């Protein structure tokens, strides 16, 4: 995935405006946008992220719907949806803020020097912004991840089911016959989700009966059974379920560990030491942005990566706070 660092004002510039100013570099208007938030705790940087398609995705984002609106407008929607309202982007007299579900707001700074454009001619142009928030603790980050995890897992099951059939179902008049053959699998899926929903109780941040505007989980099943064609299946998957089924769970990761994984082809572990995924899904973006964060210059790459790897090994053997890698600051 070809990537490059770019300069763009997230609050003022729209995808259309960026394209108009860079037609010599882009052949399509930016069609995707995402935000990764670096939480600074003491001297280290952390992210709340999770697996998508089996690999860790560091950004909350998606397809751009408002090409004439500032990039921030899309990010506001994406972050709120993908975190089930646990984290929201708002603005007050002090500037951009991260609003948490407890009502507290924390200053959020967009790091302009870490904005990445992933672009392949004729296919996509995805803009990833990086922000810093330095007022939360590790315990707060873990609480947020743990609170979002059950809901992410629940919706991911429904999303995976619909995605499989969105990809495989015929788009012609034979759709109904195909969909009828899936009746048993839908019954089984909803039965499992009904049991899981009852077990989760108040832990489920987004309830399917609210999203499907029905009185019970059986009403959700009825709507699934009644999908008439591939177009309606696409709408159901992309515009309703897909909004909440972006990843299979949420975890807290060290930013330096994610960067090291992209450079050294290592598995991804969370801060608890659990192996979460074999690699980073958006590795090109992470490598492009985090190399600027962790490496002073290209000549130091080999030494710096060795130092970072040594630090990772030391942390595994001797848990506890350590000095920051290279002492490099985001400021």
Show the DSSP H helices in the chain as ranges: 15-21, 71-82, 138-168, 175-181, 183-200, 208-211, 217-225, 230-235, 255-264, 283-294, 301-317
Cα end-to-end span (Å), the chain: 28
**Tens place of pLDDT for every residue, the chain, 331 residues?**
699 999 999 999 999 999 999 999 999 999 999 999 999 999 999 999 999 999 999 999 999 999 999 999 999 999 999 999 999 999 999 999 999 999 999 999 999 999 999 999 999 999 999 999 998 999 999 999 999 999 999 999 999 999 999 999 999 999 999 999 999 999 999 999 999 999 998 899 999 999 999 999 999 999 999 999 999 999 999 999 999 999 999 999 999 999 999 988 889 999 999 999 999 999 999 999 999 998 854 444 444 555 555 555 555 444 333 222 222 223 2
pLDDT reported for residue 299: 47
Count of residues making up the chain: 331
Tokens at 127, concatenated: 């803009």
Nearest to 9 by CA among 125, 96, 115, 126: 115
* Ordered DSSP codes for 111-122: -GGG-EEEEETT
Residue 246 · residue 52 · CB < 8 Å: yes
- Other Cβ atoms less than 10 A from the Cβ of 283: the count is 20
The secondary element (H helix, E strand) that includes residue 39 is strand 32-41
**Paired residues of 50 in beta bridges:** 57
pLDDT reported for residue 266: 87
User: What is the SS3 assignment for 29?
Assistant: coil
Tokens at 314, concatenated: 């030391």
Measured distance CA(200)–CA(155) in Å, rounded:
13
Global model pTM greater than 0.85: yes
Domains of the chain from N-terminus onward:
3-143+248-327 (3.90.79.10), 150-241 (no CATH)
């Amino acid at each position: 995935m070809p990537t490059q660092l770019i300069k763009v004002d997230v609050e003022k510039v729209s995808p259309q405006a960026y394209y108009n100013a860079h037609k010599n570099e882009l052949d399509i208007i930016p069609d995707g946008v995402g935000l990764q938030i670096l939480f600074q705790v003491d001297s280290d940087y952390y992210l709340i992220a999770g697996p998508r398609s089996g690999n860790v995705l560091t950004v909350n984002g998606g397809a751009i719907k408002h090409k004439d609106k500032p990039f921030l407008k899309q990010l506001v929607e994406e972050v709120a949806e993908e975190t089930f309202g646990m984290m929201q982007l708002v603005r007050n007299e002090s500037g951009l803020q991260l609003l948490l579900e407890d009502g507290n707001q924390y200053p959020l700074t967009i790091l302009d020097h870490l904005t990445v454009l992933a672009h392949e001619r004729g296919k996509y142009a995805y803009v990833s912004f990086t922000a810093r928030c330095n007022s939360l603790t590790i315990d707060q980050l873990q609480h947020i991840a743990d609170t979002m995890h059950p809901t992410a897992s629940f919706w991911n099951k429904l999303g995976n089911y619909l995605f499989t059939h969105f990809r495989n179902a015929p788009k012609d008049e034979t759709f109904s016959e195909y969909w009828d053959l899936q009746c048993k699998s839908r019954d089984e899926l909803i039965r499992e989700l009904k049991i899981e929903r009852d077990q989760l109780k108040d832990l489920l941040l987004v309830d399917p009966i609210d999203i499907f505007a029905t009185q019970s989980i059986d009403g959700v099943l009825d709507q699934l059974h009644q999908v008439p064609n591939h177009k309606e299946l696409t709408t159901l998957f992309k515009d309703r379920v897909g909004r909440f089924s972006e990843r299979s769970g949420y975890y807290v990761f060290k930013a330096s560990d994610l960067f090291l994984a992209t450079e050294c082809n290592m598995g991804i572990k969370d801060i608890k030491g659990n192996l979460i995924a074999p690699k980073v899904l958006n590795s090109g973006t992470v490598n492009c942005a985090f190399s600027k964060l962790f490496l002073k210059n290209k000549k130091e790459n080999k030494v710096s990566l060795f130092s970072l790897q040594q630090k990772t090994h030391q942390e595994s053997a001797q848990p506890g706070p350590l000095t920051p890698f290279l002492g490099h600051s985001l400021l």
